[in-house]
Amino acid sequence: MLGLFLALIATPDTVELSLGQALERAFRSSPTAAEASASKCEGSIKLAQGIVALLPTPTAALGYGRTESRLGFLPDSTIVAKGWTGSLTLNQVVFDPQVFAGVAGAVVYSGYYAADAQDRRARLVFEVTRDYLGLLSARLLRDAAASALARADDNLRLTREKERLGSASRIEAMRSEVFRSQAVAHTSFLATAGMSHNIAVNPVEQLTEPARFEYEDRDRLAEEIERVNPGARMSARAATVSQLNRVASVARALPSVSANWSSRYADTVFPSSPSLWTDKDEVSYGIQLSFPLLDLKSYVLNIAQASTDSRRTQAAANRTRLQLRSAATAAVLGYEEARLRYDYTRRNLELNQELYRLAQQQRKLGAISMLDFFSVETNLTQAQAAYISALSDTYVQAAQISYLMGRAGPAAR
């Protein structure tokens, strides 16, 4: 695995990406971005389908016929009849509960698919941010381990004490583990961003301070997440559509009304112009009433099915809302915990850096044993690793909150 990764980063296709550049690439090539675009188009199509149902429906037909017949008492005689026929019809819905419910449902569904597109884009931002930071953390840990190993090699040349060999092997094991985690993080990032596996990514983002996500009150933030979360909006809209379908199924007891107009043409001459058509056509128009309630068994079954679907989608919406409330609370607490852990690891790193500086001075004076010095050096390496992980985690937790809020942009910086 280590040799494979080293061969990968040595290829000419290595690219350096900041987090913003990684997101731009993901929005261009990730399958999730394509799915979000498709959902957005689906919403527009649903809205158009609802509007079209209210417009007049035209139909047209044109045909040509030829008939040959013979008289029984004159077998050699043949009568030929030929001619053109055509029709133009317009149907307009005046009142139809099913059509009106379909229009309202189309409007609601257009918002559903818009929320779905937003959710997919926000999820892509979160996943790319998470995997990019995982790759960046692995690189920073690799550099820290390499630096610690270099110090270990330098000190090993100064002394051949047995204890030092044990300390060096611990740091070498840490470095090997970091190389392995970096290879895994690299593969995960490429899959999320929709990038070629022949490309090696070198993350260059500089994390100099923890992510800052400003909010006044934890409970208010959780309420805001519940209000704007795309998944919750999708569940609510699905429940609304099911309610509309239930109302429409009950309203089928009312007769539907439609108006129609038709023009029928019949002549031996092809209707080559509008005036020729209007001279030979027959125009009719009227109003048609339909009474679906006469099919009572279907009416009752439709109501039962619509009521069941409405109860199911309403229960799903309630479950989504409760799960979101739990996820929002966990995300906010996770961010606060990440900030606290960052503060602790930062102070711990500063303390270990100061202890290491003092240990170096004591070693020059011969006032500290090599075993104690090596212990201080190892503790510094571990403190650096904990600090890097805590710093990266603040960005991941902030990205989690941004995702729950449906933000299709970089997380808090």
Enclosing H/E stretch for 264: strand 256-267
Average pLDDT of 149-174? 52
> What are 412's two structure tokens?
């808090």
Answer whether residue 9 shows pLDDT above 60: no
Answer whether residue 49 shows pLDDT above 70: yes
- The confidence score (pLDDT) of residue 43 equals 84
Answer whether residue 215 shows pLDDT above 70: yes
Average pLDDT of 83-97? 86
More confident residue, 340 or 30: 340
Answer whether residue 94 shows pLDDT above 60: yes
Lowest mean pLDDT among 95-109, 175-189, 250-264: 175-189
Answer whether residue 1 shows pLDDT above 70: no
Answer whether residue 109 shows pLDDT above 50: yes
- The confidence score (pLDDT) of residue 160 equals 45
Cβ neighbors of 273 (< 8 A, separation 6 or more) are none
Contacts 24+ apart (CB under 8 A), 297-306: 299/249, 299/252, 299/253, 302/249, 302/252, 303/246, 303/249, 303/250, 305/249, 306/242, 306/245, 306/246, 306/248, 306/249
**Fold entry, domain 2-10+32-55+96-255+291-404:** Outer membrane efflux proteins (OEP) (1.20.1600)
> What are 373's two structure tokens?
């010095």
Confidence of residue 200 (pLDDT cuts 50, 70, 90): confident
Lowest mean pLDDT among 97-101, 351-355, 396-400: 97-101
CB 131 within 8 A of CB 271: no
Q: b/e string for 138-176 if b means 16 or more Cβ within 10 A?
A: bbbbbebbeebbebbeebeeeeeeeebeebbebbeebbe
- Quote the CA–CA distance of 412 and 50 in Å, as a whole number: 39
- The confidence score (pLDDT) of residue 172 equals 55
Q: Given 3-state DSSP classes, what are the helix, strand and coil percentages for the chain, each rounded to the nearest 5?
A: 70, 15, 15
CB 85 within 8 A of CB 69: no
Confidence of residue 7 (pLDDT cuts 50, 70, 90): very low
Confidence of residue 175 (pLDDT cuts 50, 70, 90): low
pLDDT of 294-346, one tens digit each? 667 777 888 888 888 889 989 988 998 889 988 988 989 999 999 999 999 99
At 68 the three-state DSSP class reads strand
Answer whether residue 25 shows pLDDT above 80: yes
